[in-house]
Chain A
Amino acid sequence: MRAIQYLRLALLTLTLGLAALIRPAALSAHEAAMGVLEFREVRPGAFVGRWSIEPSIGAARVDLRVPSHCFLRLPEMNCGQQGLVGPITISNLGSNMSVVLIRLIPIEGEPRSYTISTANPVVTVLGTDAPTLEAWIELAKTYVNYGIDHILLGADHLLFVLGLIWIVGGGWRLVKTITAFTIGHSASLAAAAFGLIGVPERPLNACIALSIAFVGVEIVKQQRGEIGLTARYPWVVAFTFGLVHGIGFASALAGLGLERRLLPAALLFFNIGVEIGQLAFVLLVLALIWAHRRLDAFVPRWSEALPAYLIGSVSMFWFFGRLARMFAAI
C-alpha cells in the first residue's frame, strides 16, 4: 500500500515537472491574439482609421493591404470615387495575431464588420448594405474555420472531452454525454454572445481548468472501484460543465464586436465549426481506443493511474497559472 502511495507521489512529481516545462504561453494558445480596426468615413471615399483594440504585436507592425485604388497611410485611407470596394488582407497574420476585425462606419447606412483571420486571410468588401449571397458564404467560411481553430487550439476543452470519453467509454452513453456537452456549451455560447449572461474571462478560464481537474478526480475514483458523479450521471456533468465551457467559447467572439444583425449567423457558423473540431477529436480518440483493443495493447497495471494524474496535474497547473493572472490583473 505504501509502495503505491510512493508511486503515486512519484508520478505526480513527474507530471508536475513535465507540466512546468511547458511554457504558459503555449498553454493559453487558444486565447486568440486579436485586434479591432475601425475605419470611419469622413467624406465619400475618405476614411480615418483607429485601432479600438490594438493587437499584441503592436499596431505599427500590422501589414494591412487594401484594394489597389485605395491609398492607405494610417490613420488616413482614401479610396476616391470608387469607394472602399475590393479585397482587404493582412500579410503577417500568425500565432501572435490570429484575428483582426475591420469595422467600417460609413457616412450613410449601418456599420459593417469584416473578420480577417489566419483561417480566412482575405475578405472582400462588397459595398452594399444588405448582405448578399457572397457575404453569407464569406461569413460561413470565416466563422466555421474560426470555430474549428478555436476548439483545436483549446487544449483545455479537448482535455475535458478526453476525460469524459475516458470515464464513459464508448457506445450510446458516450453519444448522450457528448450531446449533453454540446447542448450545454451551445446554449451558454448563445446566451453569452447575445449579452444575456456575462462572466469575466479570467475567473471563467480558472473554472474551466477546475472542471478538468474534477474529471481527473472522477477517473481516479473509477479506477478505485468507486462510482463517482460522472460515472453515474455523465450527461448531467457534461451539460453543467458544457455551460461553463460555452461561455469560454463566447469570449472568442466577444472581442470581435460583430454587428448585431450578423451575430446570429456568425454564432451558428462558429458553433458548427466548434462541433466539427470536437467531432473529429472524439472520432480520433475512439479510433485509437479501438486500435489499442485490437492490438491488445494496454497500459501496464502499475501505470494505470498515470493518465488521470497527468490530466489532473496539467489542469491544476493551468488553474494556478490562470488564478495568478486573475490576481495580477486586480
Chain B
Amino acid sequence: MKLKSPRALMATAMLLAGANAAEAHIVAARLGDFYMGAMHPLTDLQDVVLWTATGMLAGTLGAKGRWLILVFPLGLLVWLPFGSALGAASTQLAGAAMMLAIGMLLAAAAQVPTLLLCALAFAVAMIRGAANAADLRPETDRLLFAAGLACVGYGAITLTMALTAVFKRPNSDSATSWRAIALRALGGWVAAIGLMMASLVLAS
C-alpha cells in the first residue's frame, strides 16, 4: 500500500506533465493569440506548480514580495524571443531544479533576502518564458502571445502572494501555528514534485 501512493503520484505527475499545449491551441483558434498566451502556462504542470510556489514563497515574506509584481512578468518576456534556443529537456530540468530549490526554501520557512527572492523569481520566469515560447507556431502573433503571457504572469503571482499573505496572517507571529506548518508542508510537496520531475528528465 505504501508503494502504491508514490507510484500513483508519479503517474499523475507524468500524466499532467505530458499534457501538451493542445488546449491552449484550441483557445487560440477560438479567442486569438493573446488568450493563447494567457492560457498556455495554465495547461502545463511545471508552470502551475512553479508559479504557485514562487508566489507562496513571496507571500510568506510580506512586503518584500511585492517587487515580484514587476519582476515576474518582465522575466517571462526576457527569454521569450529565444525560446527555441533552449532544448525542451534543459528547460524541464532547470524548471525542476527551481521547483526543488523554492520548495525547500518554503519548507524551511527561510527568510530570503529581497534581492535573492527577485533573482529566484526572475530565473523562474525566464525559464518558463522560454518553455512557453518553445511551443509557439510560426503563424502565432508573438506580440499578442507575449502580452497574454505577461498579463497572466502578473495576475497569477499577485493573487497567489496576496492569498498566501492572507492565509498566513502576518500578525500571528507563531511559527508553529497550523497555518505556518501547512505552508511548510506544501513547500515539502513542491520540493518532492521537483525532485521527481528532475529524476524523470534525467532518466529519459
What 1/0 mask marks residues of chain B from 21 to 49 whose CB sits below 8 Å from any chain A CB?
00000001111111100000000000000
Known contacts A95-B29, A118-B30; A295 and B144 CB within 8 A of each other = no
Cβ contact within 8 Å between B162 and A295? yes
* B32 contacts across to A, CB distance below 8 A: 29, 95, 153
Cβ contact within 8 Å between B155 and A288? yes
Cβ contact within 8 Å between A152 and B31? yes
Query: Is A61 positioned at the interface, with any CB of B under 8 Å from its CB?
Result: no
Query: Is B165 positioned at the interface, with any CB of A under 8 Å from its CB?
Result: yes
Cβ contact within 8 Å between A153 and B31? yes
Chain A interface size, under 10 / 10 to 19 / 20 to 34 / 35 or more? 20 to 34
Q: How far is the CB of A306 from chain B (nearest CB, A)?
A: 13
Cβ contact within 8 Å between B29 and A118? yes
* B66 contacts across to A, CB distance below 8 A: 295-297
Cβ contact within 8 Å between A26 and B161? no
Known contacts A21-B143, A26-B144; A295 and B158 CB within 8 A of each other = yes
A291 to B144, CA, bound (A): 25
Chain B interface size, under 10 / 10 to 19 / 20 to 34 / 35 or more? 20 to 34
A152 to B34, CA, bound (A): 10
> Which residue of A is nearest B157, CB measured?
A291
Q: How far is the CB of B140 from chain A (nearest CB, A)?
A: 11
Q: How far is the CB of A301 from chain B (nearest CB, A)?
A: 16
Cβ contact within 8 Å between B31 and A288? no
* A288 contacts across to B, CB distance below 8 A: 155, 158-159
> Which residue of B is nearest A95, CB measured?
B32
Q: How far is the CB of B183 from chain A (nearest CB, A)?
A: 16
Contact of A284 among B63, B141, B155 (CB under 8 A): B155
> Which residue of A is nearest B162, CB measured?
A291
Q: How far is the CB of A123 from chain B (nearest CB, A)?
A: 16
Q: How far is the CB of B121 from chain A (nearest CB, A)?
A: 14
Query: Is A74 positioned at the interface, with any CB of B under 8 Å from its CB?
Result: no
Known contacts A21-B143, A118-B30, A296-B66; A291 and B159 CB within 8 A of each other = yes
* A149 contacts across to B, CB distance below 8 A: 30-31
Known contacts A291-B162, A294-B166; A94 and B31 CB within 8 A of each other = no
* A26 contacts across to B, CB distance below 8 A: 34, 141, 143-144
* A153 contacts across to B, CB distance below 8 A: 31-32
> Which residue of A is nearest B141, CB measured?
A26
Q: How far is the CB of B98 from chain A (nearest CB, A)?
A: 22
| CB under 8 Å from chain B, chain A span 295-318 | 295-297
Cβ contact within 8 Å between B161 and A295? yes
* B29 contacts across to A, CB distance below 8 A: 93-95, 118
What 1/0 mask marks residues of chain B from 44 to 66 whose CB sits below 8 Å from any chain A CB?
00000000000000000001011
| A/B interface sample: 18 pairs, CB < 8 A | A22-B143, A26-B143, A26-B144, A93-B29, A95-B32, A98-B30, A118-B31, A152-B35, A284-B155, A288-B159, A290-B162, A291-B158, A291-B162, A294-B165, A295-B63, A295-B65, A296-B63, A297-B158
Which residues of A pack against B, CB within 8 Å? 21-23, 26, 29, 93-95, 98, 118-119, 149, 152-153, 284, 287-288, 290-292, 294-297
What 5 pairs across the A-B complex have the smallest Cβ distances?
A291-B162, A297-B66, A118-B30, A294-B162, A291-B158
